[in-house]
Chains A and B, each alone.
Chain A
Amino acid sequence: MRPVMFERHVRMALLAVLVLGVLPAWSQPGNTRVFGTVTDQISGEALMQAVVLNGTQGVTTDLDGKYELRLPAGSYTLKVSYVGYEPLTKTVQVQGTQMRLDFALSSLVLGEAEVVADVAIERETPVAFSNITPLKIQEELGSQPIPMILNTTPGVYATQAGSDDSGPSISIRGFKQRNVSVLVDGIPVNDMESGGVFWNNWFGLDLVTQTMQVQRGLGASKLALPAIGGTVNIITQGIESARRTSVKQEVGSFGMTRTSIGHTSGRLPGGWGYTVSGSFQNRQGWFEQDYNRSWFYYGKVQRILGDHTLSLSATGAPTENAVRSYQQRIATHDLDYARSLFRGDDAAYERMRGYSQAYDQIFNDGSLTQAQEADAIQDLNEQYGYNSVADFEQEMSETDFIDTTGVVAYGTAYNVHWGMLNGQPLVERINQYHKPLFSLRHNWRVNDRWYLSNMLYASYGYGGGTRLDNSLGAGDYTPDGQVDFEKFYATNTVGGLFGPPIDPTYSDSLLKSSRILRKSFNNHQWFGILSTFRYEHSEAWSFSGGVDFRTYRGEHYAEVYDLLGGDYFVDAFNKNAASKMRQTGDKIGFHNDALVRWGGFFGLAEYKGLLYNWFFNVSGVYQGYKSIDFFAPLDVVIGTERWREQLSYGEAFVRNDITGETQVVQNDEVQVQGEGAVVEGETLEQATVIRHGESGTENNNSGWKWLPGFTLKTGGNYNLTEYTNAFVNLGYLSRTPVFRNVVDFSNELASNIVNEVILSTEVGYSYSRYPFSANVNAYYTDWNNRPLQSLLRFETVEGDLVFANINSMSARHMGWEVDGAWELNRSFTLEGYISLGDWRWTSSEDSLVLLDDRTGQPYLDQLGQPAMVTYDATGVRVGDAPQHQYSLSLKYSYKDFYIRPRYTLFDRYFADFDPFSLNGANAGRQSWQLPTYGILDIHAGYNVDFGETNWDIRLSLFNVLNTIYINNAQNNDAFGQYYFTDSDRRYAFATNNFDAASSSVYMGPGFQSNFSLRVRF
């Protein structure tokens, strides 16, 4: 008999005995119900078939790690055991009708999660964090993308229609995605160039998530991570002790179907084990023409050989989805909603509307001379008691007045990025991407003191997004507000004023497309090594450390995706190509590589006493940046000398070796003659001739730029009583900048680059005693040298577009968070959180001189003086995430049924804004505040256990009240359009009025539902 089978038989027999033994106790009325869960202390993973013993009587836990005992009042010693874990013994005084006892067992073998992934542990790790268990994901995620579950934890704001093209995004404590580190099994997955996380590429991860932990603030990671807002730590399933298979089918709103399957082998002979999982989702989205087709695969093979554990894993999620990237005016989405924002009575609204309409009429009357217009406006102002239109605009911003008269509304699901072509809808913006991640790990428990972990990983990204080239602008839409593809198609085929688009420069018969769809690729190859050791010096002291090496190549280019009727496209950007004609699949626009190298080390000292523990962490990184441009003219290298951007296709570089003079001429204008050359008829005695593409030429590149960064963190936890503990931590981060703040798009290195500097501190207090638990923590983060998204772009006195780097911006984020759970009785559990942030900019400049990021010298303005910018953002609240968030949920359980309504309120939410708009009369002016909104979700489920199989039926209802709300807004959006029924009419008022009328928004989705059935066997 094989050992596994034997073990199972023994366990079944034991179970039978135990259950029989316990049965009489169940039937006795008046006994206390003792219940709870048994989990892994580190990962939070539920341990099924763990044994809870009272003397010789006992029970085993179910699939979700739950157990239940009935005991008469009295004193008992309970012993909890599980294979591979240290048994736990606890003496308890049983009384009352029920009593909850949860057991968290620690593994005999120190786990990867603790050593490598830095999962925080309750009453030990001094950081603020929340755990999200697989059960919670099952119950509350529904069909949403995985980060959406984080809205159930304090301090995190997650939106599906994020502010970028890549789907959902999260911010923690007001810090955007690039300041939130994401780790999957200890592997940092934030983009090496931008720092972003593209959640669409992690579709399906919810299936294999064993635990997901959000650490707010600087977090518990030993690595030099850019975690200013927080860290999201995702640990995937390992090989569990028993074989298990699960199949899950979901259906939901917008025709969503998703089929998922997972299988884990359990521990097989020879120490082998494997886990595989797959999923396919197909849905129409909630905005017009939205769709998403995603696949997911995950496989992990593991072998345990004595003290060694070897594992190999592969995961990826090929995905294709429509993208909506332009925000719209509020009235364009919903007239009634826009009208409802007005703060004032109907009479006041009508009065303002009267002025607005009259002003609008004058403004749009093309027949008036300027003087007549000025007169008419003055009369109007006098009639309404305004000094100027500025008075009215001020009133607009004070009342959130939006004049909806004559505005065309296209609905909350309005999406501009599609149109009809030849009777079929054509989506302008589609994202296709696939980013498989492979990892090979070796963990070695050397002896009682030493633990070693080595991890190799590789990530290959391939794909990109389509869009029109030239990009969409005013005049490109049909009256329905859709992309006028028919017009582009006609222009590319039959043509217009000058007939068919035939350009004799290129061809006498082929049609030249002037508008096409292009696809911009952002591929990468990324390799990393993460090696960690841990040394336990004594019971109290332990040390760990290691190295973190990464090398990354990001490849960026655009391709012709659809010629929209024509035969070719002309693109002059590639200076190294013979022709400018491009067909489908040819590279256009840009083609460059971003190279990033990362050398990091880290060290951690920990002290663990009886009542308190303490850590000190130091980490450093040396980061290299290099850019290569394949479209720019080639560099010429002779010996140690380099001439940059010299040779385009068909050109030759000539150096007079006697005088050292160089010139670039057409290829056929130079002939080599012995040691010399004849150039344009002139003979050079000694010359070096290098022709385009020959040896001696190199692709234009920036060379390497190396920048150091470091992190210092320390903190301690004190367990005050059996039920309470308090912690404090302090950190200092010197963070290296993102790629585009170091190398600009013309391959030039910025010269005035400094690191971001972050100082952060946090205190916390926890209380946990059945039936009540709560955490409260407060934080203070000072963020200096806060960067812009990219270099600042402006026009010089010569009319050149130039780039400058701004280093001096800063912000201060502080606030506090409370979360708690209260088990009211056997049926009802109340959970909730409050997070109150006070996040403000702290910087202003009254005369910041703009420096050329290449030379460090000031740019000159029209008067020949150094160019300056002014802005005053001091005290202005940070935008793009609600500063106040409240959530309350009440779970009702009856046997295997549960229902959990959850209400979450988002408040003090300010539109994202441009700090440089805060000057002159607008200095220190707050961006528009979005209306407060609350969302009610209801989750319910039922679990049926048929012995061999276990069925989970779940229903999730999102936004049950169908609340109309804005989940993302841009202040003063100069690009937002008003669509009027009268197509010649133009918006008359200021578009930088810091108000509802001048903001552009995404509206949140309405009611959605999701139903799922999962079978486990």
Chain B
Amino acid sequence: MRFFNIALSGLLFLPLAGAAQCTDIFISEYVEGTGNNKAIEFYNPTGNPINLAPYVLQRWSNGEAGSTDQTALVGQIAPNSTFVLVNGQTEDIDLGGGNISPACDPALQLLGNQLDNPYPAPTYMNGDDALVLVKNNNTVVDIFGKPGEDPGVAWTDDAANGFTDGDGGTWLTSNHTLRRKYAVTGGVTLPPVAFDTFLQWDTLEVNTWSGLGAHACACNPTGVSAPRVQARPEIRVFPNPSADASLQITSSVPMERVEVYTAAGVLVQQNALSGLSWQAAWEQNIPSSGVYFVNVTLIGGTTYSHRWLIP
């Protein structure tokens, strides 16, 4: 019962901790997907654009009572809009013993305003890591989780165990997307006695990222945030993996050429073209199984490289 009482006091504590009302940015969505499909969305509840330069997102990993890694945010958030930080890993990394750290889903990365640093970085959180958003290195703007507590695999719904993974509770902060409740109008600035996910967050199914780029909040009762301006042209390379070596590319901006390289850098296909879509017509050797890079150069000369797999 002791835990339960403490947890209760924690519940009372939390809304007070989030005392700032529509005055500063806070974390509005938390994507803890499979592999490295991870992202954090920030929301600007004010009526003014906010320059992100003073803001740093810290990860307090595995119960450590201090920041283990951090990323400085770059850019600015428009009023009542969002800013998305996405895991930046674009390659599978072999960790040995058959363990692979997979690339973040390119579709998720396309939704990002900023790609996070290589490992170790905040968007390598895996459910048992607290996040702390700090401004000017001295002011806590928002806290996710309970800093300094290792909950086990994740924070759970188990109030009797202080919402930790002590005894078979349901994991909430891992393998879920969490969305800040509409009523939340500011960040948590004091560490909670216990982290009760449901108090401020709604849980969505794993690998849900359709809601990134917009956030509904009581600070902006007239509507959801303005849709984010597409930072990158949308280029789709599919099917990927491709069992029969077929390849299609569509782009939201006209393409200038397509090149396909092996992982060793050997050019196996090159096409000059104009248009918004392209389908593979293999002029040279048809690729055998392996990892390829599809370089799409758009009108204007910008090249985007995509990893493409023939299993």
Task: Please judge, given known A-B contacts A470-B64, A497-B134, whether A921 and B291 are in contact too, CB under 8 Å.
Answer: yes
The contact of A794 among B99, B118, B168, B264, by CB within 8 Å, is: B99
B191 within 8 A of A: yes
Min CB distance B139 to A, Å, is 10
**How far apart sit A474 and B150, CA to CA, in the bound complex (Å)?**
19
B28 within 8 A of A: no
**How far apart sit A445 and B267, CA to CA, in the bound complex (Å)?**
78
Q: Is the CB of A572 within 8 A of B165?
A: yes
Min CB distance A499 to B, Å, is 10
- Sample of 21 A–B contacts (CB below 8 Å): A366-B74, A370-B232, A374-B303, A374-B304, A374-B305, A388-B295, A470-B63, A491-B64, A491-B65, A497-B66, A497-B140, A505-B194, A572-B152, A788-B97, A792-B97, A799-B34, A799-B174, A870-B311, A916-B98, A973-B96, A986-B118
The contact of A797 among B34, B61, B232, by CB within 8 Å, is: B34
**How far apart sit A110 and B193, CA to CA, in the bound complex (Å)?**
75
Interface positions of A from 603 to 657, Cβ below 8 Å from B: 633, 648, 651
Query: Interface code B55-97, partner A: CB below 8 Å = 1, 0 otherwise?
Result: 0000001111111110000100000000000000001011111
**How far apart sit A380 and B289, CA to CA, in the bound complex (Å)?**
29
Q: Is the CB of A921 within 8 A of B150?
A: no
Interface positions of A from 790 to 809, Cβ below 8 Å from B: 790, 792-795, 797-799, 806
Q: Is the CB of B167 within 8 A of A648?
A: yes
Which residues on B sit within 8 Å (CB–CB) of A387?
Answer: 259, 261, 265-267
B276 within 8 A of A: no
A512 within 8 A of B: yes
**How far apart sit A391 and B295, CA to CA, in the bound complex (Å)?**
14
B100 within 8 A of A: yes
Q: Is the CB of B98 within 8 A of A503?
A: no
Task: Please judge, given known A-B contacts A371-B302, A394-B265, A503-B149, whether A666 and B160 are in contact too, CB under 8 Å.
Answer: yes
Which residues on B sit within 8 Å (CB–CB) of A792?
Answer: 97-98
Q: Is the CB of B101 within 8 A of A974?
A: yes
A852 within 8 A of B: no
Q: Is the CB of A793 within 8 A of B97?
A: yes
Which residues on B sit within 8 Å (CB–CB) of A806?
Answer: 98
**How far apart sit A975 and B101, CA to CA, in the bound complex (Å)?**
12
**How far apart sit A792 and B100, CA to CA, in the bound complex (Å)?**
11
Which residues on B sit within 8 Å (CB–CB) of A366?
Answer: 74
Which residues on B sit within 8 Å (CB–CB) of A504?
Answer: 6, 193
Which of B161, B164, B232, B265 neighbours the largest number of chain A CB atoms within 10 Å of its CB?
Answer: B265
A556 within 8 A of B: no
Query: Interface code A890-930, partner B: CB below 8 Å = 1, 0 otherwise?
Result: 00000000000000000000000010110011110000000
Interface positions of A from 922 to 981, Cβ below 8 Å from B: 922-923, 970, 972-975
Interface positions of A from 827 to 846, Cβ below 8 Å from B: 846
Which residues on B sit within 8 Å (CB–CB) of A680?
Answer: none
Minimal Cβ-Cβ distance residue in A for B309 = A920
B183 within 8 A of A: no
Which residues on B sit within 8 Å (CB–CB) of A475?
Answer: 68-69, 120
Q: Is the CB of B98 within 8 A of A390?
A: no
Minimal Cβ-Cβ distance residue in A for B139 = A497
B1 within 8 A of A: yes
- For the side of the interface on B, what is the size category? 35 or more
Q: Is the CB of B68 within 8 A of A473?
A: yes
A570 within 8 A of B: yes
Minimal Cβ-Cβ distance residue in B for A919 = B290
Task: Please judge, given known A-B contacts A387-B265, A793-B99, A920-B263, whether A798 and B68 are in contact too, CB under 8 Å.
Answer: no
**How far apart sit A648 and B266, CA to CA, in the bound complex (Å)?**
59
The contact of B94 among A370, A514, A914, A923, by CB within 8 Å, is: A914
Min CB distance B244 to A, Å, is 15
Minimal Cβ-Cβ distance residue in A for B72 = A366
The contact of A390 among B61, B168, B261, by CB within 8 Å, is: B261
The contact of B148 among A394, A512, A990, by CB within 8 Å, is: A512
Task: Please judge, given known A-B contacts A505-B162, A788-B97, whether A388 and B65 are in contact too, CB under 8 Å.
Answer: no
Which of B91, B95, B98, B148 neighbours the largest number of chain A CB atoms within 10 Å of its CB?
Answer: B98
Which residues on A sit within 8 Å (CB–CB) of B266?
Answer: 387
Q: Is the CB of A474 within 8 A of B69?
A: yes
Min CB distance A219 to B, Å, is 30
Task: Please judge, given known A-B contacts A470-B64, A788-B97, A922-B263, whether A799 and B206 are in contact too, CB under 8 Å.
Answer: yes
B185 within 8 A of A: no
The contact of B34 among A572, A666, A795, by CB within 8 Å, is: A795
Chain B interface (Cβ within 8 Å of chain A)? 1, 3, 6, 33-35, 61-69, 74, 91, 93-101, 115, 117-120, 132, 134, 140, 147-152, 160-162, 164-168, 174-175, 190-191, 193-194, 206, 232, 259, 261-267, 289-291, 293, 295, 301-305, 309, 311
Q: Is the CB of B166 within 8 A of A374?
A: no
Sorted nearest first, the 3 A-B pairs with minimum C-beta distance are A390-B265, A921-B263, A799-B175
Q: Is the CB of B97 within 8 A of A920?
A: no
**How far apart sit A922 and B1, CA to CA, in the bound complex (Å)?**
57
Min CB distance B146 to A, Å, is 9
**How far apart sit A990 and B168, CA to CA, in the bound complex (Å)?**
40
**How far apart sit A389 and B98, CA to CA, in the bound complex (Å)?**
26
Secondary structure at the B interface, as helix, strand, loop or mixed, is loop
Q: Is the CB of B293 within 8 A of A492?
A: no
Min CB distance A365 to B, Å, is 12
Minimal Cβ-Cβ distance residue in A for B140 = A497
Which residues on B sit within 8 Å (CB–CB) of A793?
Answer: 97-99
Q: Is the CB of B93 within 8 A of A992?
A: yes
Q: Is the CB of A375 within 8 A of B290?
A: no
A378 within 8 A of B: yes
Which residues on B sit within 8 Å (CB–CB) of A970?
Answer: 96
A869 within 8 A of B: yes
Which residues on A sit within 8 Å (CB–CB) of B61?
Answer: 470
The contact of A487 among B66, B295, B301, B305, by CB within 8 Å, is: B66
A29 within 8 A of B: no
A575 within 8 A of B: yes
**How far apart sit A366 and B115, CA to CA, in the bound complex (Å)?**
11
Min CB distance A87 to B, Å, is 60
17 more contacts with CB within 8 A, not counting A470-B62, A570-B150, A572-B164, are A370-B115, A370-B232, A374-B302, A374-B305, A378-B303, A389-B265, A394-B264, A473-B68, A504-B193, A572-B165, A648-B167, A666-B160, A914-B98, A916-B97, A917-B96, A920-B263, A920-B291
**How far apart sit A990 and B263, CA to CA, in the bound complex (Å)?**
11
Task: Please judge, given known A-B contacts A387-B267, A572-B166, A668-B1, whether A496 and B98 are in contact too, CB under 8 Å.
Answer: no
**How far apart sit A923 and B289, CA to CA, in the bound complex (Å)?**
10
Interface positions of A from 547 to 585, Cβ below 8 Å from B: 570, 572, 575, 580
Min CB distance B209 to A, Å, is 14
Q: Is the CB of B94 within 8 A of A992?
A: yes
Q: Is the CB of B206 within 8 A of A798?
A: yes
Which of A387, A512, A793 neighbours the largest number of chain B CB atoms within 10 Å of its CB?
Answer: A387
**How far apart sit A487 and B68, CA to CA, in the bound complex (Å)?**
11
Q: Is the CB of B175 within 8 A of A514?
A: no
Which residues on A sit within 8 Å (CB–CB) of B147?
Answer: 497-498
Q: Is the CB of B66 within 8 A of A799?
A: no
Which of B94, B140, B165 neighbours the largest number of chain A CB atoms within 10 Å of its CB?
Answer: B94
Query: Interface code A852-863, partner B: CB below 8 Å = 1, 0 otherwise?
Result: 000000000010
**How far apart sit A974 and B93, CA to CA, in the bound complex (Å)?**
7
Which residues on A sit within 8 Å (CB–CB) of B65?
Answer: 491-492, 495-496, 501, 512, 514
A991 within 8 A of B: yes
Min CB distance A798 to B, Å, is 7
**How far apart sit A535 and B245, CA to CA, in the bound complex (Å)?**
69
Minimal Cβ-Cβ distance residue in B for A511 = B65
**How far apart sit A533 and B262, CA to CA, in the bound complex (Å)?**
65
Which residues on A sit within 8 Å (CB–CB) of B164?
Answer: 572
The contact of B166 among A580, A788, A916, A917, by CB within 8 Å, is: A580
Which residues on B sit within 8 Å (CB–CB) of A492?
Answer: 65
Task: Please judge, given known A-B contacts A497-B140, A799-B33, whether A515 and B148 are in contact too, CB under 8 Å.
Answer: no
Minimal Cβ-Cβ distance residue in B for A573 = B152
Task: Please judge, given known A-B contacts A496-B65, A920-B290, whether A503 and B148 are in contact too, CB under 8 Å.
Answer: yes
Min CB distance A386 to B, Å, is 7
